[in-house]
Amino acid sequence: MSNTQQLKDLTTQVRRDILRMVHKVNSGHPGGSLGCAEFFVALYKEIMDRKDSFEMDGIGEDLFFLSNGHISPVFYSVLARSGYFPVEELNTFRLIDSRLQGHPTTHEGLPGIRVASGSLGQGFSVALGAAQTKKLNKDQHLIYSLHGDGELQEGQNWEAIMYAAGNNVDNIISTIDYNGQQIDGPTDVVLPMGNLKEKFEAFGWTVVDILQGNNIEEVLKGMAVAKSKTGQGKPVCVLLHTVMGNGVDFMMHTHAWHGKAPNDEQLEIALKQNPETLGDY
């Protein structure tokens, strides 16, 4: 178990990693990555029951699936800093011959990645399939997944959401990064999705709100509540209220940094707001 300060320090370091990764190749998605830093740190450092051996057979441990694959920088940073691959490899993000593709893939054999994602809306189904296999294997561990809120505009999600409740898949906790932004603007402008909580509940899910998704203590508390709701016949959804671009003042509360890298000057300002803690890669 880490103490809260250690988790906060790691989160700050992850933010630096994200910013430096996308800056180096002048591409990638910092906004959603920054907004989910606390979630990923909480998940990999505290919440998930993972094997120390980093085996990828998917047996005997909790598994995580990232559906909105474009926030790969935060995923890669936390995987590296959890020991799945060398932290120095973050230097290769989006470069040719790298295992750290723009969007995560199993194709290059990067430990920690269990399915390719990036073409949106597919992760719910895959995570549910893994959850069903856990049940068949009588493996008590849980499946975690993360999805963008805008991503829910893809119809396949709702096929999966309907399936999960209809088949009592209660060993899954699916989190929605509820930041209200997507590439073209606020989700309410691009395609209003109405009341997501009511929608999930109407589809037969248990919904847990984490109102401060960028407060690590609140994320830990909320995910513990979500975990306590598993095994009760219903799938569990977490609405993780986050701020896109969190931790960098000029990137916050806007879709502008969804898929844009900072320039040299902007990087310097952003890094000053997130001083080095565990050491840069």
| Contacts with another protein, residue ranges (CB under 8 A) | 57-59, 63, 65, 105-107, 114-119, 122-134, 136-137, 139, 155-156, 159-160, 162-163, 166-167
Is the Cβ of residue 203 or residue 257 nearer to another protein in the bound state? 203
Is the Cβ of residue 26 or residue 51 nearer to another protein in the bound state? 51
* H helix or E strand, kind and range, residue 134: helix 123-136
Name the residue among 83, 132, 126 with its Cα closest to residue 106: 126
Please check whether residue 269 is in contact with residue 60, taking contact to mean a CB–CB distance below 8 angstroms: no
Quote the least distance from Cβ 204 to another protein, whole Å: 14
Quote the least distance from Cβ 43 to another protein, whole Å: 17
CA 63 and chain centroid, separation: 12
Alpha-carbon distance values, 163 to 128, 177, 182, 209 (Å): 9, 21, 26, 22
Quote the least distance from Cβ 128 to another protein, whole Å: 6
Quote the least distance from Cβ 15 to another protein, whole Å: 28
Cα–Cα dist 240/103, whole Å: 22
End-to-end CA distance of the chain, in Å?
A: 24
Is the Cβ of residue 159 or residue 268 nearer to another protein in the bound state? 159
Please check whether residue 183 is in contact with residue 259, taking contact to mean a CB–CB distance below 8 angstroms: yes
Helix 123-136 with 156-166: angle, nearest 10 deg: 20
Is the Cβ of residue 166 or residue 231 nearer to another protein in the bound state? 166
Quote the least distance from Cβ 247 to another protein, whole Å: 30
Cα–Cα dist 133/159, whole Å: 19
Is the Cβ of residue 160 or residue 267 nearer to another protein in the bound state? 160
The DSSP secondary-structure symbol of 95 reads S
Is the Cβ of residue 161 or residue 243 nearer to another protein in the bound state? 161
Write phi, then psi, for 96 (nearest 5 degrees).
-65, 145
Quote the least distance from Cβ 124 to another protein, whole Å: 7
Quote the least distance from Cβ 248 to another protein, whole Å: 30
Cα–Cα dist 50/109, whole Å: 19
Is the Cβ of residue 56 or residue 225 nearer to another protein in the bound state? 56
Quote the least distance from Cβ 217 to another protein, whole Å: 32
Is the Cβ of residue 138 or residue 272 nearer to another protein in the bound state? 138
| Radius of gyration in angstroms for the set of CA atoms belonging to the chain, rounded to a whole number | 17
Please check whether residue 184 is in contact with residue 212, taking contact to mean a CB–CB distance below 8 angstroms: no
Cα–Cα dist 84/49, whole Å: 15
